[in-house]
Chains A and B, each alone.
Chain A
Amino acid sequence: MAIEASSRFREFAYLVGSAALLLGVWHVAASFADPRIFPGPASVFDYLWELIASGELWQDLGATLARVAASFVIAMLVGSVIGVALGMNGGLDRLFGPWVVLFLNLPALVVIVLAYIWFGLSEAAAIGAVAFTKIPNVVVTLREGARALDPSYSEMAAMFRFGRWKTLRHVIAPQLQPYVAAAARSGVALIWKIVLVVELLGRSSGVGFQIYTSFQFFDVRAIIAWSLAFVAVMMAIELLAVQPYERSATRWRRSNV
């Protein structure tokens, strides 16, 4: 217990040290540059504080996070269903596998532009376009998961009359869990970047919109401040939601002592 606590403290100390080092390097580098082109940390944090105090930050950050959440949920649901279907049915996979490759290689920008042209500059088009760019990744990952399902467990479940729901919940889902986690992890990383692009191209709220506005005024300080705020939120989600979930879902693995 004591060893674990001290190693956790050391890890935390390294994290703080690493952040302090980055700020120091940034500060020194900025002192040689034009503050309009490359502002230092003090100036950026001043601006960030203004954004927080005025309430502007929460509004746009909230709009962006809502879009990230909506596209993420849609992409995970649709992608998982398609991926598992393809993984379990070879004929379906041969027929639609090439589509997956095609959509996997379709640039996100093309999807976004076409979605705005076909469906208008609407919220649904924006969220749909982001989800669409992520779906092929989820499909590929979950297809792999479905192929790796162990038939001996399914036979056992059939033998003991588990029924459809119990088999899905206790036999299939736990086997797919690592694949869902992998898809979710890479999903969040991809989606939040693409959400900024749809906001830049066709929304009048959100972090992407704010960065676009700052770009038009060549306001580097604002661009960095918005990015920092956004990265901080995404890291908090990773630390507070994704990692604890993974730890609890893989509890049974670590019991192998």
Chain B
Amino acid sequence: MSDAPRLNVDIRHKVFRTADGGRLEAIDGVKFDVAQSEFVCLVGPSGSGKTTTLRIVLGLDEDFDGVIERPPGRMAAVFQEPRLLPWRTVGDNIDMALGESDGADILALLADLGLADMEAMYPGELSLGMARRVAIARAFAVQPSLLVLDEPFVSLDDATAVRMRRLLIDVWQSRPNCALMVTHNLAEAVELANRIVVISDRPGHVRGTFEVGLPRAERSPDAIAELTRELQARFPST
């Protein structure tokens, strides 16, 4: 267990300095790990430091007290906003992330995500759902050992979100890695995750973890609703 590549997160403290010189304690003890081929969801109320945790995991914020051990290999992220370069085509956006050496099968990946024949389009020509799928394609294209997703399905209509979750999990299951996703949607977490880490109100700390034992193939809408109720019962006011 200790030898397998995994993500170990141990953030003891994270403090923001506010504009008027005050201190805002964002995180007070967030510790969890993500094993290879494990999909972990981080849930908690807004302001609980979920996105801050992701930024620290990604190395975008290095001003914190604690330790992050990342699995060897590349990281990739799908941010809330797709963050595609609007002045480059879909194909160029993915190619640029790739670099020279990586050789994932881009065409198969694009086809899996329903993006075939869209390489020549500019991001401004895409709907939000399509742009998010491109961002997901870009993340998987680099064959990351660590995949981080920050609420990738917010502000999509329900039908699109349902389709996108299914797409994500299909693509991920055929290319598994350490996956860490932030969401405030408990049903979404129950549908996707192997394990759910529940974070408290600010300053964020881990309230506990919830194992979703049910295989993904058996997670029917009813089963998801049942598990969500169970999760809410164990962690009231989440």
Identify the A interface with B (CB < 8 A): 152-153, 155-156, 158-162, 166, 170-171, 174, 252-253, 255-257
Contact = CB atoms under 8 A, between A and B. Distances in A.
A152 B74 contact: no
Contact of A159 (B76, B92, B121): B76
A252 B74 contact: no
For A152, A153, A160, which residue has the most chain B Cβ atoms within 10 angstroms? A160
Interface string B176-203: 0000000000000000000000000000
B142 interface: yes
Interface string B141-165: 0100000000000000000000000
Nearest to A256: B124
B141 to A, nearest CB: 10
Given A160-B138, A161-B74, A255-B122, 12 more contacts: A155-B60, A156-B83, A159-B77, A170-B85, A174-B88, A252-B86, A252-B87, A252-B88, A253-B124, A255-B121, A256-B124, A256-B125
Contacts of B87: 174, 252
A152 B51 CA distance: 14
Q: Is the interface of A mostly helix, strand, loop or mixed?
A: helix
Nearest to B81: A152
B221 interface: no
Nearest to A257: B125
Contacts of A174: 85, 87-88
Contact of B96 (A166, A252, A253): A166
B210 interface: no
Contacts of B124: 252-253, 255-256
Interface string B19-55: 0000000000000000000000000000000000000
A89 B83 CA distance: 24
A253 B85 CA distance: 12
Contacts of A161: 74, 99
Contacts, number: 47
Contacts of B75: 159
Interface string B60-73: 10000000000000
Interface of B: 58, 60, 74-77, 79, 81, 83, 85-88, 92, 96-97, 99, 121-122, 124-125, 138, 142
A198 to B, nearest CB: 38
Sorted nearest first, the 5 A-B pairs with minimum C-beta distance are: A160-B97, A174-B87, A256-B124, A156-B83, A252-B87
19 contacts: A152-B81, A156-B79, A156-B83, A158-B60, A159-B76, A160-B97, A160-B142, A162-B96, A170-B85, A171-B85, A174-B87, A174-B88, A252-B86, A252-B88, A252-B122, A252-B124, A255-B125, A256-B124, A256-B125
B83 A153 contact: yes
A152 B79 CA distance: 9
Contacts of B88: 170, 174, 252
Nearest to A160: B97
Contacts of A166: 96
A11 B1 CA distance: 74
B158 to A, nearest CB: 26
